[in-house]
Amino acid sequence: MISKTHARTPADGPSIDHPTPLLGGLSPAQFMRRHWQKQPLLVRQALPGVQAPIDRLALAQLAASEDVESRLVSQSPGDRWSLRQGPIAKLPAWSKPQWTLLVQGLDLHVPAAHELLSRFRFVPEARLDDLMLSYASDGGGVGPHFDSYDVFLIQVSGKRHWRIGRQGVATTGTLRDDVPLKVLADFEPEQDFVLEAGDMLYLPPGWAHDGVAVGGDCMTASVGFRSPWRGELANELLVRLTDEDSEDGQRSPRDRMYADPKQLATEAPGRIPDELVAFAREAVLKAVAQPLALERALGEALTEPKPRVFFDAGEALPEGAAVQLHARSRMMYDAAHVFINGASFRAGGRDATLMRRLADRHALTSAEVARLSEGARDLLDQWAEDGWVVPA
Ligand code: SIN
Ligand code: CO
């Protein structure tokens, strides 16, 4: 009924088994086996001829906007660091050394940044986070630190001197308490290299790194990932699972109030009754045990747009149109559902196959759109009106 997704990268790019310059001649499959979450990889000319997705003036404009997350890190003589959170109305002079502007989520605003991020869709979309672009003047950087997430650091203009070490992998590393950033007090670099435009460095979580701009106009794009913490995920899912039980303030008919007709008089009124503990355990287990409820809550959580993400309303699709997912849309699926921007739909048969294709490739041809059932086509029109998909 539902065909298996074939082993190709989603955007009809090269096969995941095909060696690619992006990964230094490894195929995505080899890269994932040998390096992902395991070993750094330096790739010279991963993206030959790469251009910065945006120039410094346009980047400065974005950093000044309320809708964009940005930070300015500056260093002054005496190893003094300062951090300013955006919006940043005025940047230091381009010629002033040792400052860095970091702009998060550039892929949501700049098509070229979205395209760059899409090159890494051999990793599940559930793990992809965003593309951050940094602009540094000569000597600028954010100091030696380690991140909890995998990152591809792509030099898109100018040069950056990177030093890396496995510090955070084995130990937590001591952080300096005199700086407003997470800067390692005792960074012990093991390798170093200068990256030029087109070069790329992949780092697994926990690898300490320090990148310092060599000369001005140094721009580095970071393709970042996200990885849920078990406790945080449980918290988010339980909120969603139990919200469904009391939608619109109406209590679900499945809900039940604790009752204790057998409670005896007690001389230890401070003690929580065992029956209430059992009731609490059952409440949590019941919420999780609803068929497909956990799957639905997870898909909705993973595709929920970030707080500052908004869509401009569009129009229903013209007849015969091909369709494309809007760069801000997050679309995923599981065995029973299709999820888009925090909403879930049950899908089966041909509609499911086509919707999954839209999630994998971010596009459907006009012939594919024409094969959707009337109900699925209406849904696609609704998504177009919401600005979630656009005519291609
Ligand atoms: C930068 O682009 O300056 C910092 C990126 C990072 O170290 O994660
Ligand atoms: Co970092």
CA of 134 to the centre of ligand 1 (A): 7
Q: What is the pLDDT of residue 255?
A: 85
Looking at the domain assignment, is residue 207 inside a domain?
yes
Widest Cα–Cα separation across the chain? 80
Return mean pLDDT, the chain. 92
Looking at the domain assignment, is residue 107 inside a domain?
yes
Strand-pair partners of 305:
none
Tokens 């937590």 — which residue? 172
User: Which of 225, 220, 224, 223 lies closest to 134 in space, CA to CA?
Assistant: 220
Looking at the domain assignment, is residue 236 inside a domain?
no
Whether the CB of 143 sits within 6 Å of ligand 1: no
User: Which of 295, 354, 369, 299 lies closest to 332 in space, CA to CA?
Assistant: 299
Q: Whose CA is nearest to atom 4 of ligand 1?
A: 142
Distance in angstroms (rounded) separating the CA atoms of residues 360 and 347: 15
Q: What is the pLDDT of residue 8?
A: 45
User: Which of 368, 371, 309, 377 lies closest to 130 in space, CA to CA?
Assistant: 309
Q: Which atom of ligand 1 is nearest to the CA of 151?
A: 8
Q: Which atom of ligand 1 is nearest to the CA of 147?
A: 8
DSSP-derived letter for residue 295 is H
What would the pLDDT profile of 178-216 be if each residue is shown by its tens digit?
Answer: 777 788 888 889 999 999 999 999 999 999 999 999 999
CB 153, CB 225: distance < 8 Å:
no
> Which residues fall within 8 angstroms of residue 85, CB to CB, at 6 or more apart?
70, 71
What would the pLDDT profile of 273-323 be if each residue is shown by its tens digit?
Answer: 999 999 999 999 999 998 899 999 999 999 999 988 999 999 999 999 999
Best of 153, 154, 219 for a ligand 1 pocket test (most atoms within 8 Å of beta carbon): 153
What would the pLDDT profile of 79-114 be if each residue is shown by its tens digit?
Answer: 899 999 989 999 999 999 999 999 999 999 999 999
Whether the CB of 137 sits within 6 Å of ligand 1: no
Whether the CB of 209 sits within 6 Å of ligand 1: yes
Q: Which atom of ligand 1 is nearest to the CA of 224?
A: 8
Q: Whose CA is nearest to atom 5 of ligand 1?
A: 222
CA of 307 to the centre of ligand 2 (A): 23
Q: What is the pLDDT of residue 178?
A: 74
Distance in angstroms (rounded) separating the CA atoms of residues 8 and 122: 9
Distance in angstroms (rounded) separating the CA atoms of residues 328 and 169: 33
Domain that holds residue 89: 35-225
Looking at the domain assignment, is residue 192 inside a domain?
yes
CA of 194 to the centre of ligand 2 (A): 16
Tokens found for residue 295? 């799957």
What would the pLDDT profile of 324-381 be if each residue is shown by its tens digit?
Answer: 999 999 999 999 999 999 999 998 999 999 999 999 999 999 999 999 999 999 999 9
Q: Which atom of ligand 1 is nearest to the CA of 134?
A: 2
CA of 16 to the centre of ligand 2 (A): 27
Whether the CB of 134 sits within 6 Å of ligand 1: yes
> DSSP letter string over 355-384?
HHHHHHHSEE-HHHHHTS-HHHHHHHHHHH
**Pairing mode of beta strands 337-340, 331-333:** antiparallel
Looking at the domain assignment, is residue 133 inside a domain?
yes
Distance in angstroms (rounded) separating the CA atoms of residues 59 and 74: 17
Whether the CB of 340 sits within 6 Å of ligand 1: no
Distance in angstroms (rounded) separating the CA atoms of residues 72 and 180: 12
Looking at the domain assignment, is residue 146 inside a domain?
yes
Q: How many residues does the chain have?
A: 392
> Which residues fall within 8 angstroms of residue 290, CB to CB, at 6 or more apart?
241
Percent helix, strand and coil across the chain, each rounded to 5?
Answer: 30, 25, 45
Half-sphere exposure at residue 332, Cβ-oriented, CA atoms within 13 angstroms: 22
Best of 70, 98, 142 for a ligand 1 pocket test (most atoms within 8 Å of beta carbon): 142
> DSSP letter string over 173-198?
-PBPSSSSS--BSS----EEEEE-TT
CA of 281 to the centre of ligand 2 (A): 41
CATH code of 131's domain: 2.60.120.650
What would the pLDDT profile of 29-78 be if each residue is shown by its tens digit?
Answer: 999 999 999 999 999 999 999 999 999 999 999 999 999 999 999 999 88
> Which residues fall within 8 angstroms of residue 157, CB to CB, at 6 or more apart?
51, 52, 197, 217, 218, 219
The residue type at 144: P
CA 267 to chain CA centroid, Å, is 54
The tally of domains found in the chain comes to 1
Looking at the domain assignment, is residue 137 inside a domain?
yes
4 pLDDT more than 50:
no
CA of 298 to the centre of ligand 2 (A): 28
CA of 225 to the centre of ligand 1 (A): 14
Phi and psi, residue 385, nearest 5°: -65, -30
Q: Which atom of ligand 1 is nearest to the CA of 203?
A: 8
The residue type at 359: A
CB 181, CB 81: distance < 8 Å:
yes
Half-sphere exposure at residue 135, Cβ-oriented, CA atoms within 13 angstroms: 25
Looking at the domain assignment, is residue 113 inside a domain?
yes
Distance in angstroms (rounded) separating the CA atoms of residues 241 and 344: 13
Q: 349-361 vs 374-385: helix axis angle to the nearest 10?
A: 30
DSSP-derived letter for residue 8 is B
Nearest ligand, CA 211: 1
CA of 211 to the centre of ligand 1 (A): 7
Whether the CB of 142 sits within 6 Å of ligand 1: yes
